[in-house]
C-alpha cells in the first residue's frame, strides 16, 4: 500500500475552512455587540452622573444667587428651594419654567436635552418645561417636595 505524502483531501479542507471563517465571523459579531452594549452602559452612566446632582440642586438649594426669582436673568445655578430643603418656592418654579429652553439647559450645565415637570400626587401637571420628545437613552429622577403646602412630585428627565 502506498502512502500519500503531502496530499490534502479537498472535502476536509473545505469543511475546515468554512468552520474557521464561521468562527471568525461569530467572534467579530460578538465583539461588536459587546462594544455596543458597553457604549450604551457608559452613556447611561454619564446621563445619571449629570441628572442626579442637578435634581439635587433643584430641590435642596435656593440657587445662586439665593433670591434669583426677583431677577431671573441673574440665575447662575438652578435651585428651587426656599429656606428649607425639599420646600419649593412657587415664584422660583414659575420663573424657572418660564426661562428660555437653551438658557435653562446652560444654567443646569446640561449638554443633553431635558424635560422637567412638577405634578401633584394625583398626576396633574402643575409646571412643565423642556423637550418632551424623548430619545433612546433616558434617565429620569423623581424627587418629592412641598410646593405651597402641597406634596408634589418633581421629575427631571435628561435624554439624548
Is the pLDDT at 153 greater than 90? The verdict is yes
Q: Which long-range contacts (CB under 8 A, 24 or more apart) does 46-52 make?
A: 47/112, 47/137, 47/138, 47/139, 47/158, 47/159, 48/139, 50/109, 50/110, 50/112, 50/139, 50/158, 51/139, 51/140, 51/141, 51/156, 51/157, 51/158, 52/141
The reported pTM is: 0.78
Asked which of 17-26, 71-80, 132-141, 146-155 is least confident by mean pLDDT, the reply is: 132-141
The verdict on residue 56 lying in a domain is: yes
The verdict on residue 73 lying in a domain is: yes
Confidence of residue 2 (pLDDT cuts 50, 70, 90): low
Confidence of residue 6 (pLDDT cuts 50, 70, 90): low
The verdict on residue 101 lying in a domain is: yes
**Angstrom distance (rounded) from CA 37 to CA 74:** 42
The verdict on residue 1 lying in a domain is: no
pLDDT of residue 93: 96
pLDDT of residue 117: 97
pLDDT of residue 128: 96
The verdict on residue 95 lying in a domain is: yes
The string of pLDDT tens digits covering residues 111-134 is: 999 999 999 999 999 999 999 888
The string of pLDDT tens digits covering residues 72-123 is: 999 999 999 988 999 999 999 999 999 999 999 999 999 999 999 999 999 9
The verdict on residue 29 lying in a domain is: yes
Q: How many domains does the chain have?
A: 1
Q: Which domain holds residue 79?
A: 10-159
The verdict on residue 4 lying in a domain is: no
| pLDDT over 90 percentage in the chain | 79
Amino acid at each position: 500500500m502506498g502512502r500519500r505524502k503531502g496530499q490534502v483531501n479537498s472535502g476536509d479542507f473545505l469543511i475546515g475552512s468554512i468552520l474557521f471563517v464561521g468562527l471568525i465571523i461569530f467572534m467579530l459579531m460578538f465583539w461588536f455587540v459587546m462594544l455596543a452594549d458597553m457604549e450604551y452602559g457608559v452613556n447611561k452612566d454619564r446621563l445619571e452622573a449629570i441628572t442626579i446632582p442637578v435634581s439635587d440642586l433643584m430641590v435642596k438649594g435656593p440657587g445662586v444667587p439665593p433670591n434669583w426669582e426677583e431677577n431671573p436673568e441673574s440665575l447662575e445655578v438652578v435651585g428651587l428651594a426656599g429656606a428649607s430643603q425639599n420646600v419649593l418656592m412657587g415664584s422660583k418654579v414659575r420663573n424657572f419654567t418660564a426661562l428660555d429652553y437653551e438658557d435653562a439647559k446652560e444654567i443646569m450645565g446640561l449638554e443633553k436635552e431635558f424635560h422637567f415637570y412638577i405634578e401633584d400626587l394625583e398626576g396633574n401637571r402643575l409646571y412643565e418645561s423642556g423637550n418632551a420628545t424623548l430619545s433612546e437613552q433616558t434617565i429620569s429622577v423623581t424627587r418629592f417636595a412641598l410646593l405651597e403646602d402641597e406634596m408634589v412630585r418633581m421629575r427631571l428627565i435628561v435624554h439624548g
